[in-house]
């Protein structure tokens, strides 16, 4: 948990405008119910981010969707039933990635307003070791051997380059908007 908070602080340093949206008390997501509905545990860095922040929209481009207290079942259902990913899989356009709940399947944790999707690949068994997979709207697929928060830190510190993203991603002065859900 201490490492997760350090990563959140690194993200806040990379995106200083996000700190205005930090909640003062943990959001009390029912992780037991959510993970039971979903059928898997989730990475601890994402859990820490979820407890500290509401939905975050970065540069009116990237939306990190976090579960809301009381709506855990809905978040789990949306994660299990990713129709776009399922359609791409059925058409053979997923470069051997599979939808969750298949073994090693993808679970979405963010999306762009341009149609890009950010997933975890649910393999290996330890959720804290799940890599980030990005499906660009243009059909590019990329995998990064880091968790969601470390990925965001790398993107916004410009140490991680995501192929297929717009030329102005990330912007020089990324602004963060917090939403209630």
Per-residue model confidence as pLDDT tens digits over 16-47 = 999 999 888 878 899 999 999 999 999 999 99
Q: How is residue 25 written in tokens?
A: 């008390």
CA dihedral 124, 151, 3, 125 (to 10 degrees): -10
Give the CATH number of the domain where residue 28 resides: 3.40.1580.10
Kindly report whether the peptide bond that precedes residue 141 is cis, defined as omega within 30 degrees of 0: no
CA–CA distance, 110 with 115 (Å, rounded to integer) = 11
Q: Across the chain, where does the E strand assignment appear?
A: 55-58, 62-64, 106-112, 117-121, 132-135, 141-144, 176-179
What is the band of 54 on the pLDDT scale with cuts at 50, 70, 90? confident
**Count of domains observed in the chain:** 1
Per the structure block, which two tokens stand in for 35? Answer: 């993970």
What is the C-alpha to C-alpha distance for residues 181 and 165, in angstroms, rounded to an integer? Answer: 25
Residues in the chain, total? 181
Q: Which domain holds residue 38?
A: 2-179
pLDDT(4) > 80: no
> pTM value?
0.92
């Amino acid at each position: 948990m201490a490492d997760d908070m350090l990563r959140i602080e690194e993200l806040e340093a990379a995106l200083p405008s996000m700190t205005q949206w930090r909640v003062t008390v943990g959001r009390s997501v029912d992780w037991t119910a959510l993970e039971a509905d979903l059928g898997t545990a989730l990475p601890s860095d994402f859990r820490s981010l979820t407890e500290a922040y509401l939905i975050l929209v970065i540069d009116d481009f990237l939306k990190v969707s976090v579960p809301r207290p009381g709506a855990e079942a809905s978040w789990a259902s949306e994660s299990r039933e990713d129709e776009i990913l399922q359609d791409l899989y059925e058409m053979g356009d997923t470069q051997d990635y599979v939808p969750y709940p298949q073994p090693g399947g993808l679970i979405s944790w963010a999306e762009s307003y341009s149609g890009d999707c950010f997933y975890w690949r649910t393999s290996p068994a330890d959720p804290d070791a799940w890599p980030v997979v990005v499906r660009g709207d243009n059909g590019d697929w990329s995998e990064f051997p880091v968790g969601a928060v470390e990925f965001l830190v790398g993107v916004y510190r410009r140490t991680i380059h995501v192929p297929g993203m717009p030329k102005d991603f990330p912007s020089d002065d990324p602004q963060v908007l917090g939403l209630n859900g």
